[in-house]
Amino acid sequence: MSAAPPFILIGNAENRRVTLFQDALARQGLPPATVVPWRELLEDPARLTRLPAPEALVRIDAAGESWAVEKALLKRGYAGAVGLGCTVLTPAQVDALEEDHGRILCPRQAHVGFLDVLSELDACFAERPGWRVLQQPRSIADLFDKRVTSRRYASRGIPVPEPLEGVTDVASLRERMEEEDCREVFVKVSCGSSASCLAIFRRRRGRESLLTSVEQASAGWYNSLQVRRIVEPERVEEVLGFLLREGSQVERSILKARLGGDFFDCRVLVVAGEPAFIVVRQSRLPITNLHLGGWRGDLERLQAAVPRNEWEAALESCRQVARLHDCLHVGIDLLFEEYFQGHRIVEANAFGDLLPNLHRDGLSVYEWEIREALSRHGVTSA
């Protein structure tokens, strides 16, 4: 066996994702990763190329939860976002902003900036053939566009919620719902995560409503920690208009199976091609994210409720999804249809592995990923 190469970790140094990963390395008897902060990388793209390591395992982690990084991405994405029809802020306007927790600032513009940085990383890695990149930038870019992944999975026969094509604004959304005899859809900004910029739009008996955590205040749009129903026609129009201008995936709502009478779905973390960890996300609301009032359900109870053939078919769909992305790990959102008569892959996530207090065979999620990364490199960890 060869010696373990060092880890390079691109992330926000103060974020718990980084500190938890460093803790996992220490528990495996490995030296800490060299952390390259997103903030420094955005200021100096050549920062990576100056690292002395001829060989390394490179982990790219989420750029979120940092005000400095968010502003840098907005400024980076300004030129590319102009003309897309989305909200934009000039670099001078970004500089004048003060941090306002929960505020939604031009998600498409920040995403354009993020894509630009990923392209730079791709070029950097091409110059370092001795580095093994655990999540390729091009795969991360794909995983951050729900429209791309939905259509790719469907083309491979993987069951996904049916998208409504040709939706450009609120009027065309209503028209498409009429044409498809569809009463309820999910509207999701395609580059969003953690239920950010998501709404469930319902039309029944001439009445319209939204279920969403998005709210508008005098200063702008915010992601609230409270899911609420909006029924006022002008508010429905405003929220939908905002989401669609930012570029949204629109898909038919699926009748879901229930667990103990509650809504639920699953986060399936596939590592090295195999489903390694599963979290049941249960809620009294159809938006099940844990930070929006959901809780971790009982996996054994779910497995007892799902027919064995359907459970295996769902896990095989997760494997197929993971094979389409050049990533060590992929977090996949999976739902089961009503009465467990089918399943759908809702979406997949490049950074969907923040699952604290979860263990398998005595290993945390990050320890499991470290072991698999080293195994691919021909190294056995402690």
pLDDT recorded at residue 371:
97
Could you tell me the end-to-end alpha-carbon distance of the chain, in angstroms, rounded to an integer? 13
Alpha helices by DSSP H, listed for the chain, are: 16-27, 38-43, 67-81, 91-96, 107-126, 137-143, 146-155, 170-179, 233-245, 299-305, 308-323, 365-376
pLDDT recorded at residue 375:
92
Q: Which residues pair with 217 in a beta bridge?
A: 220
This prediction has a pTM of 0.95
* Token representation of residue 252: 């038919």
> Are 124 and 48 spatial neighbours (Cβ–Cβ below 8 Å)?
yes
The residue ranges of the chain whose pLDDT is under 70 are: 1-2, 380-382
Q: Count CB atoms within 10 A of the CB of residue 86.
A: 20
Write down the CATH number for the domain with range 256-349. 3.30.470.20
Three-state secondary-structure class, residue 83: coil
DSSP assignment letter at 137: H
- Report d(CA 117, CA 45) in Å as an integer: 8
**Record: fold of 1-144+359-382:** Rossmann fold (3.40.50)
List, in order, residues 6 or more apart from 160 with CB less than 8 Å away.
150, 153, 154, 251, 344, 345, 346
Q: Which residues pair with 56 in a beta bridge?
A: 131
Query: Which contiguous run of DSSP H or E holds residue 124?
Result: helix 107-126
Angle at 355 between CA 349 and CA 357, to 5 degrees: 175
- Report d(CA 149, CA 137) in Å as an integer: 15
DSSP assignment letter at 182: -
Residue written as tokens 């495996």?
Answer: 28
Residue written as tokens 């926000």?
Answer: 12
Q: Closest Cα to residue 55, out of 327, 378, 382, 326?
A: 378
- Report d(CA 136, CA 156) in Å as an integer: 21
Three-state secondary-structure class, residue 29: coil
pLDDT recorded at residue 2:
63
- Report d(CA 177, CA 83) in Å as an integer: 28
Q: Which residues pair with 203 in a beta bridge?
A: 208
Q: Which residues pair with 344 in a beta bridge?
A: 335
Would you kindly state where each structural domain of the chain is located, as residue ranges? 1-144+359-382, 170-252, 256-349
Q: Which long-range contacts (CB under 8 A, 24 or more apart) does 40-43 make?
A: 41/10, 41/117, 42/69, 42/72, 42/73, 42/76, 42/117, 43/72
Q: Closest Cα to residue 46, out of 111, 123, 148, 143?
A: 123
Query: For residue 265, with 0-12 CB atoms within 10 Å meaning exposed, 13-18 middle and 19 or more buried, which class applies?
Result: buried
Three-state secondary-structure class, residue 138: helix
